[in-house]
């Protein structure tokens, strides 16, 4: 599964902004056909995204397209038809509330893969959970398709759906934020945290929110401005000190295992398998980020 620390939204109707995003060392770029696009510009956005997929050098960044909501008679099928031949890496589905929405898109993508002779499941899916109904159906959504790579938490739309009042601490969405990461990890999926909407806030505030997401178990975070990419990816990249500490712990564990010892004391703590798994996770993330 591709490593995703920062996923940057770019409006699908702006070739200039897509090119700006493609020039960044960002893990994933999401070319948006939904919220960022006025109804009168939907066709223009589809054409712009398709052309960019054909012509723009995205470097090592993943190329994703956010569809319009998957509801009967809506625009998502036209979004796919206009862009799939240009070979995006996958699609982001907004406001997912039911596993059938994922299945419907997966079926359309399977037809495209067969038509082009691409490997099955080449086109990946990421589902945004941003309504109360999506939260209560998380178990079924997370198991909807082998195409599904990640669950994305959408706090702003969820708060609107609940009639909640957004606060700096986010206590009004904490339960839902925790449930998204819990169900993602139970299903072997990545968990991507919500956007940080205050563009005037200092980088330290964004980094603090990203770090909170990391401590909850999230593997990445959405970005809505190019300058957010650096702080987000820095938080989700293990620091050299953390990598060194994890390697020391693993070495100590292996030495005690060789001596026939299970649980052991290390730097004043009793060490057992949960702590070893946490250290292995740090090293896995470091390798995925290219820093180990």
DSSP the chain: ----SEEEEEETT-HHHHHHHHTS--SEEEEESSTTS-GGGHHHHHHHHHHHHHH---TT-EEEEEPPP--TTSSHHHHHHHHGGG--SEEEESS--SHHHHHHHHHHHHHHHHHHTPPTT-SEEEEEE-SHHHHHTHHHHHTS-TTEEEEEE-HHHHHHHHT----TT-GGGHHHHHHHHHHHHHTT-EEEEPP---TTS-HHHHHHHHHHHHHHT--EEEESSGGGHHHHHHHTS--HHHHHHHHHHHHHHHHHHHTT--SEEETTEEE-HHHHHHHHHHHHHHHHHT--
Residues with Cβ within 8 Å of 103's Cβ and at least 6 positions away in sequence, in order, are 144, 145
Q: What's the rounded Cα separation, in Å, for the pair 141 and 57?
A: 33
Statement: residue 263 has pLDDT above 90 = no
* Pairwise CA distance, residues 144 & 100, whole Å: 7
- Is the pTM higher than 0.85? The answer reads yes
Over 90: is that where the pLDDT of 85 sits? yes
In CATH terms, the fold of domain 6-235 is: TIM Barrel (3.20.20)
**Which of the following is catalytic: 107, 198, 203, 272?**
272
State the residue for tokens 């603090």: 208
Q: What is the separation of C-alpha 220 from the centre of its chain, rounded to a whole number of angstroms?
A: 6
CB 138 within 8 A of CB 151: yes
Q: How confident is the model at residue 262 (pLDDT cuts 50, 70, 90)?
A: confident
Select from 117, 109, 115, 161 the least CA-distant residue to 135: 161
pLDDT at 290: 87
Q: Are 64 and 89 in contact (CB under 8 A)?
A: yes
Q: In whole angstroms, give the CA distance from residue 165 to residue 95.
A: 19
Mean pLDDT over all residues of the chain? 96
Give the pLDDT of residue 261.
81
pLDDT digits (tens, 9 = 90+) for 189-201: 999 999 999 999 9
Q: pLDDT tier at 180 (50, 70, 90 boundaries)?
A: very high
Structure tokens, 64: 């994703």
CATH 3.20.20.60 in the chain, residues?
6-235
Contact, 213 vs 190, CB < 8 A?
no
Is 27 one of the annotated active-site residues of the chain?
Answer: no
Average pLDDT over residues 8-29: 97
Task: Calculate mean pLDDT across residues 217-230.
Answer: 97
């Amino acid at each position: 599964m591709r490593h995703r620390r920062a996923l940057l939204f770019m409006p699908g109707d702006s070739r200039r902004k897509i090119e700006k995003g493609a020039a960044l060392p960002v893990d994933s770029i999401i070319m948006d056909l939904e919220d960022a696009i006025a109804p009168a510009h939907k066709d223009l956005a589809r054409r712009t995204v398709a052309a960019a997929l054909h012509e723009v050098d995205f470097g090592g960044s993943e190329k994703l397209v956010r569809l319009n909501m998957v509801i009967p008679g809506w625009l998502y099928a036209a979004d796919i038809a206009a862009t799939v031949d240009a070979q995006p890496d996958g699609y982001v589905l907004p406001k997912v509330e039911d596993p059938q929405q994922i299945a419907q898109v997966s079926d359309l993508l399977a037809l495209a893969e067969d038509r082009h002779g691409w490997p099955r499941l080449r086109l990946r899916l990421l589902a945004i959970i941003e309504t109360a109904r999506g939260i209560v159906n998380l178990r079924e959504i997370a198991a909807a398709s082998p195409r599904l790579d990640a669950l994305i938490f959408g706090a702003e739309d969820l708060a609107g759906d609940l009639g909640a009042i957004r606060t700096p601490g986010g206590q009004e969405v904490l339960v839902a934020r925790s449930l998204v990461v819990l169900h993602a990890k139970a299903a072997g999926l990545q968990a991507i945290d919500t956007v940080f909407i205050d563009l005037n806030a200092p980088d330290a505030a964004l980094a603090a929110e990203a770090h909170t997401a990391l401590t909850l178990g999230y593997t990445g975070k959405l970005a809505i401005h190019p300058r957010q990419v650096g702080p987000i990816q820095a938080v989700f990249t293990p620091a050299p000190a953390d990598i060194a500490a994890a390697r020391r712990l693993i070495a100590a564990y292996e030495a005690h295992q060789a001596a026939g010892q299970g649980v052991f004391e290390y730097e004043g703590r009793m060490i057992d398998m949960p702590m070893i798994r946490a250290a292995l996770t740090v090293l896995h993330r470091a390798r995925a980020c290219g820093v180990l």
